[in-house]
Amino acid sequence: MKKLDIVLENETGLHARPASMLVQVAKDFDCDIKIELNEQTYVAKSMMSILSMGATKGSELSFVIDGSDELKAYNELKELFDSNFGEN
């Protein structure tokens, strides 16, 4: 199991476009990817779940990644957030 802690830097939070990018990346992996925010757990492979988080700039997200390809998923998710969803 890998854990990735992220502070959301995207100005508009996880609105539809970055949420869609996140779901697309998560769906590429067989491992289970959950997101924890404010003591709630969300499914990273579900657009509805991601949008229901209401994550805004400054939100502290914890990704819990568990499965055979967890390291690869960890690296790609980190890269997605480090690139600020291409909005830099």
Rounded-to-10 torsion of CA 27, 33, 39, 40: 40
Q: For residues 66 and 30, is the Cβ–Cβ distance under 8 A?
A: no
Q: Give the span between the Cα atoms of 19 and 84, in whole angstroms.
A: 12
* Residues assigned a catalytic role: 15
What does residue 44 show for φ and ψ, rounded to 5 degrees? -70, -20
